[in-house]
Each structure stands twice: as structure tokens, then as C-alpha cells.
Amino acid sequence: MNFWSRVARIILRNRYLVLLLIALFTAFLISQMQYMRFSYTEANLLPEDHEENIHYNQFLEIFGEEGNLIILGVKDSTVFSPKKFNAWNQLVKSFDSLPEVDFTLSIADVKKLEADRQERKFVLTPLYESLPNNVKDIQKIKNQLFNELPFYDNLLYNKETGTLQTAIYINKNIVNTPKRKQFVFDVLKPAIQQFEIDNNLDIRVSGMPYIRTENSQNIVDEIGLFVGGALLITAIIFFLFFKSYRATFITLLVVTIGVIWAFGFIGLLGYEITVLTALIPPLIIVIGVPNAVFLINKYQQEIKKHGKQAKALQRVITKIGNATLMTNITTASGFATFVFVKSKLLREFGILASINIVSIFILALLIIPVIYSFMPLPKKKHLNHLERRWMEGVVNWMEKTVKEHRVWVYVSTVVIIILGIVGLYQIRVSGSLIEDMPKSMGFYKDIKFFEREFGGILPLEILVDTKRNNGVMNLSTLKRIEKINETIESFPELSKPISIVNLVKYSKQAYYKGNPKYYQLPTSQEQNYILAYTKNSDGNADMLQNFVDSTGRYARITTFMKDIGTDKMESIQERLQLVIDKEFPEERYEVSMTGKALVFIKGTNYLINNLVLSLSLAILLISLFMAWMFRSLRMILISLLPNMLPLLITAGLMGYLNIPIKPSTILVFSIAFGISVDDTIHFLAKYRQELIANSWRIQKSVYAALRETGVSMFYTSIVLFFGFLVFTTSSFGGTIALGGLVSVTLLLAMVSNLLLLPSLLLTFERKIANEKVLKKLAIRIIPKEDKLRKKRKV
């Protein structure tokens, strides 16, 4: 008795124990779901020891969390009426006393810097003492703000459009916790909505904490959409194929338990639900259904042949179990290659996907035969799908094409390869933090609003280390920082920078009685007495700590980026680096660029560099499986080509359709390759069995394998196509692209495996028809009953 016969015997003889063990383990994983938690930070695609992460963490140690700013904006001339103007400032003040808020900055908070000649220090005085109650007062405040206080330009207002902006700095301790979500949804949004109703104003809201909160909620909402959609679409398609409520129910039961296990494993392993791990439950559904298709289809074929349930169930496990195990192992291997990538996000995704793919195979292999063993035999109407004329017509067409039009198969393949290569060279790379976000959502439109009015919302930080205490306030250092500021201002993709230089300029303006034309760096003669005023000032310390650390050694330059692609960002970074290298000698300064947006862009480039590695590992693993099955180099090459071709077509489509390589679409190739090779294994496993049954006659074996596996491969490919198509209902651009591309790739892989693979086997039949190799293979793999049948024939 071989291995799979023993497995079948154990499963069928211990049906109640199998169901009890599944129920107990499912209950255990349900208890682990309470430990699931959602991600409250951006995806960090880089390894922890990567240079960019080291720079970013150094910045956070010195200045703390930089992504804690929520901004409110209003572009409406009526806001300068007394009622609305005071209501606007009162709205912001209402947030100031909350524990979730560090401080706010609005027009009401503006302090003018003035020189106290007697005390030889700078003092801060309010922009206005009492609430303005007429238009004249408002115009006076507006005139002062827009024309006399350039320090606040692009910080609180846009002089050209009259747009006002207010800053709310969230408590850094809650930025990456659930409290941030509670503040945004329970406090901030209701207050803004009420204000809009009361004052008939349209308030724009943005900033990284707000965007991340809205985005995370969208991910949570879409998990239910994906799971429900995948279950519904696969159930409908499954029923249309099998015309059996019983088969559909059993399949849904298997994948539903698989989804529960998927969520349970997330909690058990302590992983966060991210934009990637949220894809795993629906992914398990669309991968689990093909397992059910092969098992149930085989069961019904066996029932049709001899009508004996016990024999049919045993053959389902012994005949399909091995091939299905290998297909699931290869699929899991495709995902497992992400484990070798140093990115924590992808590593967790790879581990979870691999575990769950193997789990859904085990569930299908245990549940389907056991439940059928308790049920009566399928009725004749449930077996009619095996004789559908249109399906037979499709199989006949495939057989005729392979037999009579093989040349056209090869010509089409060559043309497709050429077109794919042309498209491949047109692919662009994108590392944008917000490109995939839902374009129809209000918060995305607000992002674009702030890009137009204030230059962007994605923070880019430049950290200057003077390598000595109080080195920042040296005039030569300030002039060097000013050079970087000027360079930043030359880029339309970046907002006006703010740094210690802005504060020093403001100090000089204050020294000269607030005259805006003196908003500039002091000369060497002016430096001593202006800085002397600064040192004597108490109020300046609060303003200074936002730009310089407590030792005076480190300074930060903050700007905000628009939603630009990787290429533009790299160009900007190169130009900035040239200025940095020129102005800051290495022996005296250490300057680094960082920020969430830059880390994300670098992470995208890192992923692309590792894509080749992960895909190569997947190909290597699958090649080893093929080598184990056939022990022939030619068979490895023949089996890989039909699966590489769809990947090339997909890459070409991405180039032609202008779909960029980014963290979401980069998964397409590994996922599609891992799943598409399943068809190859099913076909070759059946082909291997037919070789034994047909005394090594390759042509007859190829056509027999094509006829038997063609129907199941067609069914599973259609299920997978529509299953992944569910992802196109997402509001995230990357998820839409992922679903569409994987669907197309798997459909092409089916065609490739049913036309190109048999054609290659027939063309190279003489070179691969090594009977000695095949006999060795038979000794290792073919079930004993097949070997005994062969001996009886001899």
C-alpha cells in the first residue's frame, strides 16, 4: 500500500475524528482573532538596517515623530467676514485643550515678533488683542498677515489665492495608536462637519495622520467587500459549472473555514492587518475553490464510471491528492519567496500566504471526501456537466489545434514574446505614497487641493548635523542652509521650506521695527547684536525647538512634496545632493535627506531590486519539483516556458497600459507564476499516468491528458479569473491593477498550458521519450495498482 492509499484509508476510517479535530482547531483560531490589530503606520518596505531607515530613525530620535500634522484649509472670500472669521479661529481653539492635541497654529495664534530696545530682547505680541467685529478690523488683520509677516507665508496663508491654512499638531504619543483613529472620527470630523453646516463653508482636511486614518478605514471596509464578493462570485460560477447545491455548499464550507483560519493565523502570529495581509482571506477563497473543483470533479467522474462511493472517494484522495498537494506546494512556494526579502511587510505576507495555502489544501482534502461519505450518491443530473456539448467542443478544438495547427501556436507565441518585450521596456516605476489611494474619496481630493495651494502634504526632511554644539547658529551655517532653501524653492513639486533660517530672518525683520524688506539673513555686523536679542528672549525658545535641537547641533529643513513619481523624486534628490555636497564639507557637516515619503520611494526601488530574486527563487523551486517528477532537463524547460510566457505578456500589458511597477503590482508576477504553474503540474501528472497506461506512447498520452484535465483546468481558470477580478471592485488603484493583471495572467496561463505545453511535448517527443527514465520515474511515483496493471498487460 503506497502513501496516498494509506492517507485515504486513515481519512475515511476516522471521519468523526477528522471533523472533531478540524472543529477544535477552528475554535482555537477563532479565539486568536481577538489579537488581530490594524496597522496605524505607513508601510515600511525597507529592512530595519537599511541606510534610509537609519537616517529616518536618527531624525525621529532628535526631533520626534514628523508625521503628526493635520491641516485644515478654506478657500472662500466670505471667511473674511467677522462672523465666519471668528468662528474659524474658535473652531481651531476648541481643539487646543484636547489631550490628543499638542498645539494648534491659526491666525488667532499668530504672534508678532518685536524688538524690546530697553530689555534688548525680542518679545511676542498677539496679532490682534480683541475679536474683530467689523470688516475694517478684518481687513487690517488680513493686510498685516499677507503683507507684513512673510514668515507665515505658505504656513498659514497663500497670498495669491487668499486661502487660509490651520495646523493641528497631534500628540506624538498617539500618532501611531488607535487613539488617533478615535480622535479623527469621533472628534475632528464631527466638529468640522458641524462648522461647515453652521457657516456654509467647505473645509479641506489633510495631513499624514488624517490620510492614514481614512486610508486604514478603507482597508478595513474592503476586507468584508473582498471576502463577500469572492465567496459570492465563486459560488455562482461553481454552481453554474456543477449544477449542484450540494457541491456548492461543500465548497463554500471549505473556503469559509479557510477564511476563518486565515484571520486566526494573523492573530496567532501577532501580525498587523495591512494593505497586503488584507488580501489573504479573499486570496484563500480563489485558491481554495480550484482544489474543490479538481476533487469534486474527480469524485463525480469515478461515480459515473462505476457507481461505488467508497472506491470513488478512495481514488479521489489517491489520484488527485498527490497532484493537488504539489500544485498547492508550488503556489505556496511562489509566496514563500517573499520570506527571503528583508522587508518585514512582504515577509509577513509571504509567511501568512504560504501557511494558509497549505491549510486550505488540507481542509479540502479532509472535508470534501468525509462529507461526501455521509451523503447519498450524486444524481444523474449532477453528472450531466461532464458531458456538456459546448465543453466537449472546446476540448475538441484544443486537441485539433495541437494536432493540426501546431505551427500557428508557435508563430503566435513568437509574436506575443516580441510584443511582450517591447511593452516590458515601457514599464515605469512609481513610489508614491498616495497614488493608490481612492481617487473618488474626499480626502484624496483634499490632498490635491493642498498640493495646488501650498505645494503638497508629504513631508520631506533634511537633517543637518554641524558636529558641534551651537553650530547651527553660526552665520556660515545659516547661509549654507539658505542655499538649500533656495534650491528647494526652485522645484515646483516642493513647497516653500521652513527652517531656522526663516526664524532668523524674522528676527532681523523684528529688529528693524517689522519692516518686511528686512526679512533676510543678518550680515556679519548685524549678527552679534541680533543674536544677542535672541538669546535674551524667553518666547523664542518654543519657536526655536521646532527647527533646532536643544544642543544647537542639529537643524531640520522641512518641505512638503506633491504626489510625484519615483523618477522625478530621484532627479530632485540628485540636484539637492549636489547643492549639499557643494555647500556642506564632509569634514564639518553631515547632511541627510529623509521623511516618510522618501523612505517609501526608496522602499519601492528596494522591492523592484528584490523582485528578480524572489521570482528566480520561485522558478528554481518549481524547477526542482519538475526535476523530481521527470528527472529530465528538457521536461523542466518545456514545463516552464508555458508559465513564463503569461508573465511576459502581463509585463508587456503593464507597459502598454501605463500601469507602473509599485508595491501593489509587484506582487503580480510571483502570485501569478505560483498559481499558473498548478495547471502545468495537473497536466503533467495526468500525462505521466497516461504514459504508463499507454505503454509510453507520447501522442496518445498527450491527447488523453488533454481531454481529462482540460475540463478541470478550464473550470479552475474561470473561477480564478473571476475570483481575482473581485479585487477590481476596490477603491485602491494598486489593488484594482493587481486583480486585473493576475486575472488576465491566469487566463493566458490556462491557454498556454492547454495549447503550448501539449504542442511542445509532441514536437520534442523523440527527445523526451526516454523509456528508461520514464520507467525509473514510474517505480518512484506511479501507484502500485498502475504498476501491477502494466505487469499484467506485459
The phi and psi torsions of 453 (rounded to 5 degrees) equal -85, -35
Q: Give pLDDT, residue 405.
A: 86
Say yes or no to pLDDT of 75 above 70: yes
Residue 352: pLDDT band by 50, 70, 90 thresholds? very high
Distance from C-alpha of 361 to C-alpha of 292, rounded to nearest angstrom: 9
Kindly state the average pLDDT of the residues 353-375. Answer: 92
pTM score: 0.74
H or E element in which residue 463 lies: strand 458-465
pLDDT tens per residue across span 330-345: 778 778 877 877 777 7
**Considering just the CA atoms, what is the radius of gyration of the chain in Å?**
33
Out of 197-206, 414-423, 438-447, 576-585, pick the least confident.
Answer: 438-447
User: CA-based angle 199:200:206, to the nearest 5?
Assistant: 90
Nearest CA-CA partner of 516 in 505, 532, 528, 504: 505
Q: Give pLDDT, residue 41.
A: 67
Kindly state the average pLDDT of the residues 46-64. Answer: 84
Q: What is the DSSP letter of 182?
A: H
Q: Give pLDDT, residue 543.
A: 63
Distance from C-alpha of 284 to C-alpha of 23, rounded to nearest angstrom: 19
- Our measurement of the distance from residue 687's CA atom to the centroid of its chain's CA atoms, rounded to an integer in Å, reads 38
Most confident of 172-181, 351-360, 391-400, 639-648: 351-360
Which has more pLDDT, 519 or 128? Answer: 519
Q: Give pLDDT, residue 782.
A: 44
Q: What is the DSSP letter of 153?
A: B
| Alpha-carbon torsion (695, 699, 702, 705), positive or negative | negative
The phi and psi torsions of 244 (rounded to 5 degrees) equal -140, 120
Q: Give pLDDT, residue 788.
A: 42
Kindly state the average pLDDT of the residues 444-458. Answer: 86
Q: What percent of the chain has pLDDT over 70?
A: 91
Residue 387: pLDDT band by 50, 70, 90 thresholds? low
Q: Give pLDDT, residue 47.
A: 77
**Looking at this protein, which amino acid is placed at residue 230?**
A
Q: What is the mean pLDDT of the chain?
A: 82
Kindly state the average pLDDT of the residues 673-683. Answer: 77
Distance from C-alpha of 556 to C-alpha of 656, rounded to nearest angstrom: 42
- Our measurement of the distance from residue 587's CA atom to the centroid of its chain's CA atoms, rounded to an integer in Å, reads 41
Most confident of 175-184, 282-291, 374-383, 483-492: 483-492
Which has more pLDDT, 385 or 2? Answer: 2
Q: Give pLDDT, residue 384.
A: 65
Say yes or no to pLDDT of 539 above 70: no
Strand partners, 168: 70, 104
Q: What is the DSSP letter of 316?
A: I
Q: Give pLDDT, residue 40.
A: 64
Strand partners, 592: 463
Q: What is the DSSP letter of 697?
A: -
Distance from C-alpha of 640 to C-alpha of 633, rounded to nearest angstrom: 11
Residue 268: pLDDT band by 50, 70, 90 thresholds? very high
pLDDT tens per residue across span 552-587: 899 999 998 887 777 788 888 888 999 999 999 989
Give the number of other Cβ atoms within 10 Å of residue 788's Cβ.
10
Q: Give pLDDT, residue 707.
A: 80
pLDDT tens per residue across span 158-207: 888 888 888 888 888 888 788 888 899 999 999 999 999 999 999 999 88
Q: Give pLDDT, residue 193.
A: 92
Q: At a CB cut-off of 8 Å and minimum separation 6, what does 361 contact? A: 291, 324, 325, 328
Q: At a CB cut-off of 8 Å and minimum separation 6, what does 22 contact? A: 257, 363, 366, 367
Relative to beta strand 37-38, strand 272-273 is parallel
Check if the beta carbon of residue 603 is closer than 8 Å to that of residue 525.
Answer: no
Strand partners, 204: 73
Say yes or no to pLDDT of 655 above 50: yes
Residue 777: pLDDT band by 50, 70, 90 thresholds? very low
Helix axes 321-336, 3-13, angle to 10 degrees: 100
Which has more pLDDT, 545 or 588? Answer: 588
Give the number of other Cβ atoms within 10 Å of residue 426's Cβ.
13
| Alpha-carbon torsion (517, 523, 525, 526), positive or negative | positive
Say yes or no to pLDDT of 150 above 70: yes
pLDDT tens per residue across span 21-39: 999 999 999 999 888 877 6
pLDDT tens per residue across span 476-528: 999 999 999 999 998 888 889 999 999 889 889 988 888 989 999 988 888 87
Q: Give pLDDT, residue 794.
A: 42
Kindly state the average pLDDT of the residues 101-121. Answer: 84
Q: Per-residue b/e over 367-381, b at no fewer than 16 CB within 10 Å?
A: bbbbbbeeeeebeee
Distance from C-alpha of 744 to C-alpha of 672, rounded to nearest angstrom: 9
| Alpha-carbon torsion (307, 2, 774, 639), positive or negative | positive
Q: What's the residue count for the chain?
A: 794
